[in-house]
C-alpha cells in the first residue's frame, strides 16, 4: 500500500460529498488513474475492471481472478468480486450494483472514461434498465488536483531522478553519437535510480518549435544540432517532467540569445504561479512574451498542464484536467502540480515540474536552466 489508509479514506470522503450533492446511489470508477486514486491498485484493461463505491463502507473492486493477488497487495481494502476469464465483467459489475440495492437508482460514472466506450455503456444500461446514469466526468479528475504531502514527496523523488538522468544523458552525447545514445543512458539511469521503468520521454533533434514529440534517430549528431531531451520518470506512478536543450559544438550567438530570452520569460511565468492567480493571466506572461520577443510567429499550444499520477499503459500520456491557455479562468491553489513548458523556433525547449505552495511556486526539478553543450561532464 503506497499511502496510509487514512489518506484513501479522506479521498473517498470528498467523493462521497459530491455523491450526496448529486443524489447518487453508487459510483463506478474505471479509468486506471481513478482506480489507483481510490483503491491504491491499478491494472491494464485486458478485461474490464472497475471499483464500485457506495455512500458508506469499503468500496467493492471488480477484478480478474488472475489479478486478485496484486490487488490484495496494493489496495487498502480487500472487498472484491473476482471473475474468471469466461465471465462477463460488465455483468459482474451490474451484479455488484444490484447487491448494493442501487439497480434502480442514480449511478454515477465518468462518461469521458477511456474504459467506457459506447458499446460497453450500452451493455451496462441493458443490464440495469431501471437505473439512471449520471455523468460525473466533471467531478472525478478535479479530485486529484490538490496533491497531499505524501504525493508531493513521491514526485520529489521522480524529479530528482530526472535531474540526475538528464545530466548523464547530456554527458553521453559526444561527437559521433545519436539521440538514441542519450536515450539509452537516460533509460538505464531511470532503472538504476529507482524509477518504475525505463521509458524516457521524447529525445530527438530540435528543429522549429513543434519538435517536442519527435522520435529517436540513429543519425549521428552534427555540429550545430540541438538535442532535445524530455525526461518523464515515474515513481509509484507519479511523474516529474523536465526538458532541456543541448547543442553539439559551440552554440551560435543567435541560439544563446534565444535560449536566454526563453528562460527569462518562463522564469517570470513560473514566478507568477501563486495561489489565487488566474491561469489565463499566468499563461499570457509566457505566450505574449515569446511572441513579443520574436521567438515564435504564433503560439498554438498550451503553456502548462496538470502533473501527477499516470498509469503506464493508459492512452493518455498527459493530464489536461487543467490547462494554461488564454481562455483559462480557473485559479491556482496550493498543492497543485504542473508541467510548465515552452519552445522556440530555434529548436530549443525548457520545462519544469512546478508545485504551487502557500509561499509561492517551487520547482521540484532543480537542473540548471541553461542551454547545455553535448558532452558536458555530469
Q: What is the DSSP secondary-structure string of 176-200? A: T--HHHHHHHHHHHHHHHT-SS---
Percent of the chain with pLDDT over 90: 92
Q: What is the pLDDT of residues 99-153, one digit of tens each?
A: 999 999 999 999 999 999 999 999 999 999 999 999 999 988 999 999 999 999 9
Cβ distance 247 to 226 under 8 Å?
A: yes
DSSP secondary structure, 262-295, as one string: HHHHHHHHHHT--TT-BHHHHHHHHHHHHHHTTS
d(CA 357, CA 275): 7
* Statement: residue 214 has pLDDT above 90: no
In 3D space, the residue among 229, 226, 203 whose CA is nearest the CA of residue 215 turns out to be 203
Alpha-helix residue ranges (DSSP H) falling in 61-178: 68-74, 89-99, 118-127, 137-140, 149-172
Q: At what angle do helices 253-271 and 279-292 cross, to 10 degrees?
A: 160
Q: What is the model's pLDDT at position 206?
A: 72
Does CATH number 3.40.350.10 belong to domain 5-144?
yes
As a whole number of Å, the CA-based R_g of the chain is: 23
d(CA 205, CA 347): 8
Ranges of each domain in the chain: 5-144, 149-373
C-alpha cell of residue 225: 544540432
> Averaged over 300-321, what is the pLDDT?
93
Residue 244's DSSP bridge partners are 229
* Statement: residue 289 has pLDDT above 90: yes
* Statement: residue 378 has pLDDT above 70: no
* pTM of the complete model: 0.94
Q: What is the pLDDT of residues 21-48, one digit of tens each?
A: 999 999 999 999 999 999 999 999 999 9
- CATH assignment, 149-373: 3.90.230.10
CB-hemisphere CA count at 13 Å for 57?
14
260 phi and psi, to 5 degrees? -65, -40
Q: What is the model's pLDDT at position 209?
A: 62
d(CA 61, CA 72): 10
Amino acid at each position: 500500500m503506497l499511502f496510509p489508509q487514512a489518506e484513501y479514506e479522506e479521498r473517498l470522503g470528498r467523493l462521497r460529498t459530491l455523491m450526496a450533492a448529486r443524489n447518487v446511489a453508487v459510483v463506478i470508477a474505471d479509468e486506471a488513474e481513478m482506480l489507483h486514486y481510490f483503491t491504491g491498485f491499478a491494472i491494464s484493461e485486458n478485461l474490464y475492471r472497475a471499483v464500485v463505491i457506495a455512500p458508506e463502507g469499503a468500496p467493492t473492486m471488480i477484478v480478474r481472478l488472475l489479478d486478485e493477488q496484486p490487488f490484495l497487495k496494493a489496495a487498502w481494502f480487500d472487498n472484491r468480486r473476482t471473475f474468471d476469464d469466461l465471465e462477463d465483467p460488465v455483468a459482474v459489475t451490474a451484479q455488484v450494483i444490484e447487491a448494493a440495492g442501487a439497480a434502480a437508482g442514480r449511478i454515477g460514472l465518468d462518461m469521458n472514461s477511456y474504459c467506457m466506450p459506447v458499446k460497453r455503456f450500452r451493455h451496462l444500461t441493458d443490464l440495469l434498465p431501471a437505473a439512471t446514469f449520471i455523468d460525473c466526468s466533471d467531478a472525478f479528475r478535479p479530485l486529484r488536483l490538490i496533491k497531499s504531502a505524501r504525493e508531493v514527496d513521491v514526485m520529489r523523488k521522480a524529479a530528482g531522478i530526472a535531474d540526475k538522468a538528464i545530466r548523464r544523458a547530456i554527458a553521453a552525447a559526444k561527437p559521433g553519437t545519436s539521440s538514441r545514445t542519450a536515450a539509452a543512458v537516460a533509460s538505464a539511469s531511470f532503472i538504476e535510480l529507482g524509477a518504475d521503468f525505463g521509458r524516457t520521454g521524447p529525445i530527438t533533434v530540435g528543429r522549429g518549435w513543434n519538435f517536442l514529440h519527435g522520435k529517436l534517430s540513429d543519425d549521428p549528431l552534427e555540429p550545430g544540432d540541438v538535442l532535445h531531451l524530455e525526461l518523464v520518470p515515474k515513481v509509484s506512478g507519479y511523474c516529474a517532467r523536465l526538458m532541456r536543450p543541448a547543442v553539439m559544438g559551440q552554440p551560435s550567438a543567435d541560439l544563446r540569445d534565444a535560449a536566454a530570452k526563453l528562460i527569462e520569460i518562463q522564469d517570470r511565468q513560473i514566478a507568477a504561479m501563486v495561489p489565487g492567480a488566474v491561469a489565463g493571466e499566468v499563461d499570457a506572461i509566457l505566450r505574449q512574451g515569446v511572441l513579443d520577443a520574436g521567438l515564435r510567429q504564433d503560439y498554438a499550444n498550451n503553456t502548462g498542464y496538470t502533473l501527477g499520477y499516470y498509469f503506464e499503459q493508459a492512452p493518455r500520456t498527459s493530464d489536461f484536467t487543467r490547462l494554461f491557455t488564454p481562455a483559462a479562468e480557473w485559479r491556482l491553489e496550493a498543492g497543485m502540480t504542473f508541467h510548465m513548458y515552452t519552445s522556440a523556433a530555434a529548436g530549443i525547449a525548457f520545462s519544469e515540474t512546478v508545485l504551487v505552495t502557500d509561499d509561492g511556486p517551487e520547482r521540484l526539478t532543480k537542473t540548471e536552466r541553461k542551454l547545455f553543450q553535448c558532452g558536458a561532464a555530469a
